[in-house]
Amino acid sequence: MRQYHKGRLREMPRAPIWRKPKKNRRRIVDAVCQRLLAFYGKPRLGNPRDPVDDLVFLVLSNRTQFETAKLVFNSLKNTGSWDAVAQLSVKTLERKLQIAGLANKRSRQIKRALRRISTDFGSCRLDKLRGWSEAAAQDYLTNLPGVSNKVAKCVMMYTLGFKVLPVDVHAFRVSSRLGWTTRCRADECHDDLEALVPPELRYAFHVGCICLGRAVCTPHRPQCLSCPINQFCVYFEQHEHEFENQT
């Protein structure tokens, strides 16, 4: 596997998991995913079931509190339809998005994205993407204004039935501490993690990382002693003595 790491081409991702024999890697990945599934299940975490609903909600929720994003999303939904939202003026959209922040930028992105979807499919619907290949669906979504790889993969996973692996800040933090990636940013390691986690386990891993990252594997002062996957964690192995001293 040839991938870029910090601008340099390498044969393998530089992470501890890749130094293990293939059979051991599979065993560890499967055990971690199964443990997360047992603890957290497969929640939707508030994501809408309709693809366009989810896309707009994800664009709104980026760097915005969940409840605020939900409030703005419901306000847009009350307009009647996404086709109707696409016809609103940018100024009107700005006013509706004001409390979520970045209203000037997001209003233009959402309007342009909805108008393109309506032009391409006859209305603001993305259901036809279910019949597309994974690569084609992702390419279409990431070419919409304001849609990153993470947003595209979330829409694909939550609403379109694709077995992809979105990497948000929580999945990135958990994966980094597990020793599954040494990338510098979440948006750099989608390929690394999809190479590790088999398709049938990706949904559980993604949502499990979010639940774990919010409650246990936090950015500061993680609760490693109560973590259900600490036996597989490089970070815990390196800092175990510090946590033992706290008990």
Domain residue ranges of the chain, discontinuous segments joined by +:
3-40+166-246, 51-159
Query: What is the fold, at CATH topology level, of the domain defined by 3-40+166-246?
Result: Endonuclease Iii, domain 2 (1.10.1670)
Confidence tier at 244 by pLDDT (50, 70, 90): low
Q: What is the mean pLDDT of the chain?
A: 92
Model-level pTM? Answer: 0.90
Where is average pLDDT lowest: 5-14, 39-48, 152-161? 5-14
DSSP letters of 29-50? HHHHHHHHHHHH----TT--SS
pLDDT in tens, 56-78: 999 998 888 889 999 999 999 99
Which pLDDT belongs to residue 239?
86
Average pLDDT of span 23-48: 97
**C-alpha distance from residue 175 to each of 12, 129, 245 (Å):** 16, 29, 25
* 13 band by pLDDT with thresholds 50, 70 and 90: low
**Domain 51-159: top CATH class:** mainly alpha
Q: To the nearest whole percent, how much of the chain has pLDDT over 70?
A: 93
The H-or-E segment that residue 117 falls in is helix 103-121
Measured distance CA(169)–CA(186) in Å, rounded: 6
Beta bridge partners of 10: 3
pLDDT at 149: 95
Mean pLDDT over residues 166-172, rounded?
Answer: 96
Q: What is the pLDDT of residues 116-133, one digit of tens each?
A: 999 999 999 999 999 999
pLDDT of 44 higher than 70: yes
d(CA 32, CA 28): 6
Is the predicted pLDDT of residue 3 greater than 60, yes or no?
Answer: no
Question: According to the model, what pLDDT value does residue 1 have?
Answer: 45
